[in-house]
Amino acid sequence: MTGPSPIDGSRHLLKSWDYRRQCREVLEADGALVLTGFFTAAAVARVVADSAPRENEAYYALSTHNVYLTPLDPELADDHPFNRQVVSSKGLLADDQIPADSPLRTVYDDLDFRDFLCAVLGIDEVHPYADEFSSINIHFASEGRELGWHFDNSSFAVTMMLRTPEAGGTFEYVARARDADAGEMAYDTVEAVLDGRYPVETLAFSPGDLVLFRGRNAMHRVTPTIGAVSRLLVVFAYNDQPGVALSDSALQTFYGRTGGPAGNQRRATRG
Ligand SMILES: O=C(O)CCC(=O)C(=O)O
């Protein structure tokens, strides 16, 4: 893309170590960071104009899963928190469906943006996925569609709201529901959340806002869209190591198709 940057650099000083430190402190304290007005209004309008008419090309994956995004355990009862099923009915456009000149690519590839992410997330490097589907995705949720409660497999998520619905489409979460690195499953919390007995927080964000979120320990969902306007959101997915691609079975699950020859790519899971 040519022309003005899609990032509002006057509000978000990506190269400033002070700004990076402030952002990192918020992310560490809250498990979530919302950078208001990160994407310019012109860039949001352009991406919505490019993608909204293509909602009918979105892929809708199989819609039930457990909160851990794993296969079920037949040794456990169907109503055990590990096996409880939730519905995810959003659709998506994969990276290979996003135009080469999209402002989303300008942001995704921007080295200052990547350095900023590393500094805020406390990691050394971020790299694109080595498969052709996973790096940038656009999620669509038309009326009644939702994303069920889950923990992510990846340690961080980077998203940007493109369009909010008339109502619903609310991001709800339970921060620090578990410590995944310590092997915690948090069955009591998971059960209470699924039963609606646990207090949950909501994260408010608007078109153009960038969200950094630690979803491996925070259980989260997006409530069903209400009204005729579909919710549109971008996911920028990175790896902290180069050359990592999703496995063919994960690609089949998330995108309904697999890529070309795997070559010597490293394969990973995601969610
Ligand atoms: O739609 C959103 O706001 C968040 C998406 C999300 O949590 C996910 O893809 O795991």
Helices (H), 5-149: 17-30, 41-51, 103-109, 111-121
C-beta atoms surrounding 249 within 10 Å: 11
> Residue 4: its pLDDT value, please?
84
Identify the residues whose C-beta falls under 6 Å from ligand 1. 139, 147, 152, 157, 159, 171, 215, 220, 222, 233, 235
16 C-alpha to ligand 1 centroid (Å) = 28
C-beta atoms surrounding 130 within 10 Å: 21
> Which residues lie closer than 8 Å to 247 by C-beta, 6 or more apart?
267, 268, 269
Which residue among 235, 246, 270 has the greatest number of ligand 1 atoms within 8 angstroms of its CB, and so is best to mutate?
Answer: 235
44 C-alpha to ligand 1 centroid (Å) = 18
Evaluate whether 53 touches 196 at the Cβ level (below 8 Å).
Answer: no
The closest-lying atom of ligand 1 relative to the alpha carbon of residue 139 is 1
> Residue 2: its pLDDT value, please?
55
From the candidate CATH numbers 3.40.50.800, 3.40.50.2000, 1.10.230.10, 2.60.120.620, the one assigned to the domain spanning 17-254: 2.60.120.620
Which residue among 233, 236, 269 has the greatest number of ligand 1 atoms within 8 angstroms of its CB, and so is best to mutate?
Answer: 233
> Residue 63: its pLDDT value, please?
83
Between CA 250 and CA 209 the distance in angstroms is: 29
Residue ranges per structural domain of the chain? 17-254
Q: Which of 263, 266, 258 is nearest to 239 (CA)?
A: 266
pLDDT profile of the chain (271 residues), mean per 10: 83 97 96 96 97 96 89 96 96 96 97 97 94 96 96 91 98 94 96 98 96 94 98 95 87 84 52 68
Which residue among 65, 88, 139 has the greatest number of ligand 1 atoms within 8 angstroms of its CB, and so is best to mutate?
Answer: 139
